[in-house]
Amino acid sequence: MIYYNVNDIVVRDMIETDPEIITHEEHLQGWTEQKVEKYTQRLKDVASGKSVALVAEYKGNVAGYFNVYPNSMGGSFGGKGLPELVDFGVLAKYRRRGIGNVLMQVAEDIAKTYSDTVYLGVGLHRDYGSAQRLYIKRGFIPDGTGLWWKGNNLEPYADMKNDDEAVIYMSKKL
């Protein structure tokens, strides 16, 4: 399904060939820890009815991705019937073209069909800086539960590693 098609940007459902393309492009930009299984799992989640997996194209090239889990079980809002936005990315060579904002809008529009509130977890290290700013600009606010790491809400002063699993949760009224 195509959700958005204006000028050079198209947002559509993820298809079978996208995981290889995304992983290859992420490796080229230095994200060598990324595995194709991360994205093939998104397709499995779609097939089982757990999610909607989105891909953005720019001038016909895969440029970004985002996922909507209508009834997520993870994080501070998990199990409360709220949609979670998961795994947002725009490939480095396609940034600063409005693709992230378009992906966010499409994901929020989909989430709105399930609830009037949506949430997400955002990483804390500097590689997440542009996503953090985008979420704040779009009206997401921290939920106040503090730091989560590896799926668990950490107690104050707990030891952790500042990796991709260190997040805070944010929500937005749609």
pLDDT tens, residue by residue, 35-47: 999 999 999 999 9
Closest CA to 15 of 62, 83, 73: 62
Transcribe 49-110 into DSSP letters.
Answer: TS-EEEEEEETTEEEEEEEEETT--SSTTTTTT--EEEEEEE-GGG-SSSHHHHHHHHHHHH
3-state DSSP: the chain helix, strand, coil percent, rounded to 5? 30, 30, 40
Give every CB contact of residue 75 below 8 A, 6+ residues apart in sequence: 84, 119, 121, 148, 151, 167, 169
What pLDDT is attached to residue 153? 95
Output the pTM of the full model. 0.93
Domains of the chain with bracketed CATH: 2-173 (3.40.630.30)
Evaluate whether 77 touches 26 at the Cβ level (below 8 Å).
no
Would you state the structure tokens that stand for residue 93, as one six-digit string? 């060579």
Please enumerate in sequence order all residues whose Cβ is within 8 A of that of 173, keeping only pairs 6 or more positions apart, or say none.
116, 117, 139
Q: Which tens digits make up the pLDDT trace of 58-117? A: 999 999 999 999 999 999 999 999 999 999 999 999 999 999 999 999 999 999 999 999
For residue 112, the SS3 value is: helix
